[in-house]
Amino acid sequence: MNEIKQIQAKGKYIRLSTQKTRRILNQIRGKKYQDASLILEFMPYKPSKVIKKILEAAGNTASNLKYEKQHLIIRQAFANEGPRLKRFQPRAQGRAFKIQKPTCHITIQLTLQ
């Protein structure tokens, strides 16, 4: 009996907003591997390049396990919040404004069609 594996790839501590990343992941969830790759190729947003790299990593893992890429579907794609980088911006009269730079963890899971 050939059991279907869940192929997974993660990107951690990526300097992107979780909200903006989720907007792109919602577009590719449930799509075929090649369709999702094509969608990400032509999206004008910054997170799409990073997501495409993570998707390719999952696809390469699948091909190492002898699965064909044209039979793969994106089962899950989600982004969780990572730790925030805390910085301070000097302002007038000795004040300081806090700047929080967000990070996120992106997970993409593939299955066979």
Q: What type of residue is 72?
A: L
DSSP 8-class letter at 67: -
Are 65 and 59 spatial neighbours (Cβ–Cβ below 8 Å)?
no
Give the residue among 36, 32, 73, 70 at the shortest CA–CA distance from 53: 36
pLDDT band at residue 3 under the 50/70/90 scheme: low
Give the residue among 33, 27, 26 at the shortest CA–CA distance from 9: 33
Question: Where does 7-112 sit in CATH, by number?
Answer: 3.90.470.10
Report pLDDT digits (tens) over 81-94. Answer: 999 999 999 999 99
Domain limits of the chain? 7-112
Rounded mean pLDDT, 6-34: 94
Whole-angstrom distance between the N-terminal and C-terminal Cα of the chain?
A: 17
Rounded mean pLDDT, 36-49: 94
- pTM for this model (two decimals): 0.89
Kindly report the average pLDDT of the chain as a whole number.
93
